[in-house]
């Protein structure tokens, strides 16, 4: 999985988890709260594993400006 797909998956899982947590909170249903928490954990884990520079393999999690054009660690262009 490339870093762009990893970032999209991470944000998708966070959005799904937010929706599940909101529904679980409003309806007072524990299953939605558990599923929302699991989606959050899955999003974080996949980002830690797959959201990396394809050249130096260092994590891009510390990038706060969205999708970068260059790796902040090695300086290579991210395609």
Condensed to tens digits (0 to 9), the pLDDT of residues 26-75 reads: 988 899 999 999 999 999 999 889 888 889 988 887 766 666 788 888 88
Nearest Cα residue to 46 out of 62, 65, 59: 59
The encoded tokens of residue 54 equal 């394809």
- Residue 21: what pLDDT? 94
- Residue 63: what pLDDT? 63
13 to 1, 2, 4, 32, 34: CA distances (angstroms): 16, 17, 14, 14, 14
Count structural domains, the chain. Answer: 1
Nearest Cα residue to 51 out of 12, 14, 7, 11: 7
Q: Is 25's pLDDT higher than 80?
A: yes
First to last CA, the chain: 13
Q: Which domain holds residue 59?
A: 1-79
């Amino acid at each position: 999985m490339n870093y762009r797909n990893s970032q999209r998956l991470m944000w998708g899982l966070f959005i799904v988890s937010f929706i599940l947590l909101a529904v679980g909170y409003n309806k007072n249903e524990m299953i939605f709260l558990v599923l929302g928490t699991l989606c959050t954990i899955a999003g974080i884990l996949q980002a830690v594993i797959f959201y990396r520079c394809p050249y130096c393999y260092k994590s891009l999690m510390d990038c706060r400006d969205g999708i970068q054009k260059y790796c902040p660690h090695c300086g290579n262009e991210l395609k």
